[in-house]
A = this chain, B = another copy of it.
Amino acid sequence: MKTFLTLCLSFFLFTSCVDESNKNETKVVETSNNVSEDPLPSWNEGNTKTAIMDYVQDVTNETSENFIPEIDRIATFDNDGNLWSEQPAYFQLFFAIDRVKQLAPDYPEWKNTQPYQSILEDDLNTLMSFGEKGLLEIIMATHSGLSTEAFEKIVKDWLMVAKHPRFNKPYNELIYQPMLELLDYLRANNFKTFIVSGGGIEFMRPWVEDAYGIPKDQVVGSSIATEYDYNNGSPVIKRLPKIDFIDDKAGKPVGINRFIGRKPVFASGNSDGDLQMLQWTDSNRYKSFQLYLHHTDADREWAYDRDSHIGKLDQGLDEAREKGWTVINMKEDWKIIYPFQKSK
């Protein structure tokens, strides 16, 4: 959520795309049964693919000194910019902005109240001028005040109609095909796969099972406070306008410890916000694997790293080189980016 509250709007030139005509939910489920002989067919041959497969073969080989018992095969994946795209802004921010517009008829005062007014006038420069405080207010207004059940439905409904400004596709189609294969490959080798993201946990859970095959209870994320209400025998959990936990940077090892209770052996991220998770994993007594995704493909996706306001990868890139962590060069290592680019 913290990354979500940084000045991510500086790349922000888009129109909100809500298209009521497409109500079909996209389901992209890859199960281990579907793994072909090459478990990573969308990965080009090269050092990255070899490093991943060598590691998995080594630590799952009972005769290897690096063998890891199944219970300890914990793999954690960042989400934004790592399992799906995050440009030109975090997709959760598109959701929040669409939600402000959707709620606006019930809040006529927003027309003259900032930061809402700037959103309603598509004046994102002004929105940016309110900084973190303004964005926090928008998150609270759009993500709280309802039950967890109602919020889940709102997220699902949004995914059915909203379209990404560049690709004109539902956001949950902008997931990375090579990463789906990697998740499958790890699970086929009895790794338990988790999402550990700065994004909102209840923004992710409604769709990650279909998208990644990761069950809801294996999703760690930022959260707002909730409370139980017996509600005269129809109990609900209410979402409160208060931040509970920020699962970013040093929050990631804390979230991993809280939710998983075990140090990962495999960690995958794409930004400096993932650095502490990779460091934590790197300190495992078992042989561990640290994977950074470097966005190098402006043609097929985006190219950004040290100077980006979204998914900044600077210190992490240095530390990866220093420590010999594996860095995916998206342009070189990936045959395709998204599932809809698969040849039929």
Contact = CB atoms under 8 A, between A and B. Distances in A.
A280 B226 contact: no
A266 to B, nearest CB: 15
A209 B69 CA distance: 14
Copies in the complex: 2
Looking at A192, A219, A250, the one whose CB has the most chain B CB atoms below 10 A away is A250
A274 to B, nearest CB: 13
A151 to B, nearest CB: 11
B250 A227 contact: yes
A51 B338 CA distance: 48
Contacts of A283: 234-235
A254 B226 contact: yes
Contact of A235 (B215, B218, B259, B279): B279
Interface string A252-292: 11100111111000000000000010011001000000000
A316 to B, nearest CB: 14
Nearest to A253: B228
A237 B254 contact: yes
Interface in A112-126: none
A230 interface: yes
Interface string A172-216: 000000000000000000001010000001100100010000011
Contacts of A218: 217
Contacts of A226: 254, 257-258
A276 B228 contact: yes
Contact of A259 (B74, B228, B257, B259): B259
Contact of A227 (B194, B228, B235, B254): B254
Contacts of A262: 216-217
A71 to B, nearest CB: 6
A148 interface: yes
A27 B279 CA distance: 33
B228 A261 contact: no
Contact of A148 (B219, B250, B257): B257
A223 interface: yes
Given A228-B276, A276-B230, A217 B253 contact: no
Given A192-B217, A228-B276, 17 more contacts: A71-B209, A201-B258, A216-B261, A217-B217, A217-B218, A217-B259, A217-B260, A227-B250, A227-B254, A228-B250, A228-B252, A228-B253, A228-B254, A230-B276, A235-B280, A237-B254, A237-B257
5 contacts: A71-B215, A192-B217, A216-B261, A217-B259, A226-B258
